[in-house]
Structure 1
Amino acid sequence: MSGPDAGGAVAGRRVVLLGADGTVGRWYRTHLLAGADTVTTAGLGAGADHRGDARTPGAGLREAVAAADEVVLALPEDVAAACLGWLAGCTGPGTVVVSTCSVQLPLFEAASQRGLRAPLRGVNPMFSPTLPSAGQSVVVIAPDGEADAHVRRTRTRLEAGSMTVSVMDPAGHDAAMSVLQALPHAAVLSFVDALLAAPVDVPTLMRIAPPPARTLVALACRILAAPPEIYWDIQRANALGGERRKELSSSLLRLDALVEADRADDFRAALASAARGLGPYAAEGAEECRELFELIQRRRTARRSAGGGAPG
């Protein structure tokens, strides 16, 4: 596999990128592959070197994988898992397989069960790859943490792009994702479901919606504008997602009980406890929210000045 050449320089790696035509695949190629790397692409798009379903590779793709230093699975969770069988037959311990899945532990477990000898690593950008990457957070997943050479190289390239890198093991990653992805997405989807069931039409609601409501609607619209498979995987594939949804449901029931029993003092105590739990971020988050609401107001004012007005 690739290493220093006769002059001491590091030669480019041979990389196979499965799912190269997706947004995550394009992001990975831009930020984690070097100009000296030889990249072989596979995907459903017409521009792929190997066009077709990654779960049923042809001989050419298998040969490319067998010769690769790195194989990237920029694929949905179920597709990536379905590829492990044939990857186990093509790769050896000298190849690194990288998953970009939102949920990682099931893939690591399946890789072990299916006899994948190649070390498996993960990279999860904590933002939509359609957004600018500078200043964003990325999680790198590896059982051995910082001791892993691939992790160190990945961190170096991401930090060179002004991204913040955290290294986690698969179980720790999925536990964090259940809180940071499955939980807020469930809350937002539940909110928009309740909003659409309300006895007031959407145009009327949006004309008078205050910033908190508009922010929640905007978050819901962000989800609705993306492929449903992304958010289905986040909810379904994370084994801890069900616990987070139950906790969300229990929180709503506790709030309802406080209101029904007219327990204002307990409500105030619950808010004070939440503020203490958030620690220094309670003040920082309030300032971030103020800036966000000001941005929403500026956009609405500019739209009305231009003769537009709120939707509806």
Structure 2
Amino acid sequence: MFLRLLRSTAHELCAIDSGAPRTGMADGAVTWLLADITALDPGGEAARRIAAADLVLLAVPEPVALAAAGPLTALMRPGSVLVDTLSVKGRLIAELADCPDGTEQVSINPMFKPSLGIAGRTVAAVVLRDGPGVAAFLGLIEEWGGRLLRLAPDRHDRTTAVTQALTHAAVLCFGFALAEAPVDIGQLTAAAPPPHTTLLSLLARMAGGAPEVYWDIQSANPHATRARDDLANALRRLADLVADGQEQEMANAFHRIRAFLGPELSHYQTRCERMFAALQDTPRDDAGLTA
């Protein structure tokens, strides 16, 4: 995504990866180098490019970023900008604390799948070492149509533990339960009311993604354990309410939920109605797949 976005801005673009170029990126607009950024040859072409770059952007899994942060910042020139796209910030920030001074650093988290595009979508940003280069890069995000959300490191990780770890855990557990249910997908599709169709759609989207991304979100965030515990406790609480016949307590729980949503309640009700209408209107091809 960032290679495409930077094409109109960057004087020169170079991608360093351990594998072959991504589809559509081997067209001459981007120089593609095969190298391991965790074990760079100091005299190699990749190291030379990093040393000359104004911007170095780490779009890699957390273990790779942690291993590469020190070697990369040792190569980068003063005033250049290091950007990462990790979903959890705490460990990388600790790793960067001992890196040489001179580089500017900002840690971002696009809160969406890159294929959706950046326009109108939130990009969380944690500024670690500010400077004109960081300001320029964050300005580009806004020029591209991204909605910039600046957060402190711990606030970022606490927020994403709810918006990502808790949400993904709920959808995945729905999938775990479905996989053991005594029905097939054809029956579910035929019988599904809109809420079930919505959850099936979320589950299908996640199942088509990279498992390591979802693993990183669950395993790397220090606040994700509490989010999963809260989810498990909530399910047990619901089971207890039903088992004990506590219908009034269910009504009280709905009241607490409405109070939490507050002024956003009607907004999200309207969004849900529109989403359900879109689900009903989505065409299907002869194979039963969404067109």
- TM-score, reference length from structure 1: 0.82
Task: Show structure 1 runs of 5+ residues with no match.
Answer: 1-26
Instruction: Report the CA distance between 1:34 and its aligned residue.
Output: 4.8
Give the equivalent residue in structure 1 for 2:180.
Answer: 197
Instruction: Report the CA distance between 1:195 and its aligned residue.
Output: 1.3
For structure 1, which segment, 34-43 or 125-134, has the greater mean C-alpha deviation from structure 2 after superposition? 34-43
Aligned pair count reads: 278
Task: Show structure 2 runs of 5+ residues with no match.
Answer: none
Alignment of 1:28-177 (within 5 A): 28-32=2-6, 34-43=8-17, 44-46=19-21, 47=26, 48-58=31-41, 59-113=44-98, 115-117=99-101, 118-143=103-128, 148-177=131-160
Alignment of 1:281-300 (within 5 A): 281-299=264-282
Q: Distance in 2 between matches of 1:240 and 1:233?
A: 13
Give the equivalent residue in structure 1 for 2:242.
Answer: 259
Shift of the 307–71 alpha-carbon distance from structure 1 to 2, 3 Å rule, reads closer
Instruction: Report the CA distance between 1:68 and its aligned residue.
Output: 2.2
- Conserved in 2, the CA contact under 8 Å of 1:143 and 1:168? no
Shift of the 49–132 alpha-carbon distance from structure 1 to 2, 3 Å rule, reads closer
Instruction: Report the CA distance between 1:134 and its aligned residue.
Output: 1.6
- Conserved in 2, the CA contact under 8 Å of 1:50 and 1:61? yes
Q: Distance in 2 between matches of 1:41 and 1:256?
A: 51
Q: Distance in 2 between matches of 1:41 and 1:126?
A: 23
Cα-Cα RMSD: 2.1
- Conserved in 2, the CA contact under 8 Å of 1:87 and 1:116? no
Shift of the 310–159 alpha-carbon distance from structure 1 to 2, 3 Å rule, reads closer
| Per-residue deviation, residues 177-221 of structure 1 (Å, max 9, x unmatched) | 111111100000000111121122232122111111111111011
| Per-residue deviation, residues 205-252 of structure 1 (Å, max 9, x unmatched) | 221111111111110110110111111111111111111000100111
Shift of the 310–35 alpha-carbon distance from structure 1 to 2, 3 Å rule, reads closer
Report percent identity of matched pairs: 32
- Conserved in 1, the CA contact under 8 Å of 2:258 and 2:265? yes
Q: Distance in 1 between matches of 2:156 and 2:76?
A: 25
Instruction: Report the CA distance between 1:86 and its aligned residue.
Output: 1.5
SS at match of 1:176: helix
Instruction: Report the CA distance between 1:107 and its aligned residue.
Output: 0.5
**2:150 maps to amino acid:** V
Alignment of 1:272-283 (within 5 A): 272-283=255-266
**1:265 maps to amino acid:** Q
Instruction: Report the CA distance between 1:307 and its aligned residue.
Output: 5.5
**1:256 maps to amino acid:** A
1:208 paired to 2:191: yes
SS at match of 2:112: coil
Q: Find the partner of 2:254 among 271, 275, 279.
A: 271
- Conserved in 1, the CA contact under 8 Å of 2:104 and 2:128? no
Instruction: Report the CA distance between 1:150 and its aligned residue.
Output: 3.5
**1:31 maps to amino acid:** L
- TM-score, reference length from structure 2: 0.88
Q: Distance in 2 between matches of 1:90 and 1:158?
A: 26
Shift of the 183–281 alpha-carbon distance from structure 1 to 2, 3 Å rule, reads same
**1:73 maps to amino acid:** L
**2:20 maps to amino acid:** G
Instruction: Report the CA distance between 1:29 and its aligned residue.
Output: 2.6
Instruction: Report the CA distance between 1:162 and its aligned residue.
Output: 2.2
1:225 paired to 2:208: yes
Instruction: Report the CA distance between 1:30 and its aligned residue.
Output: 3.0
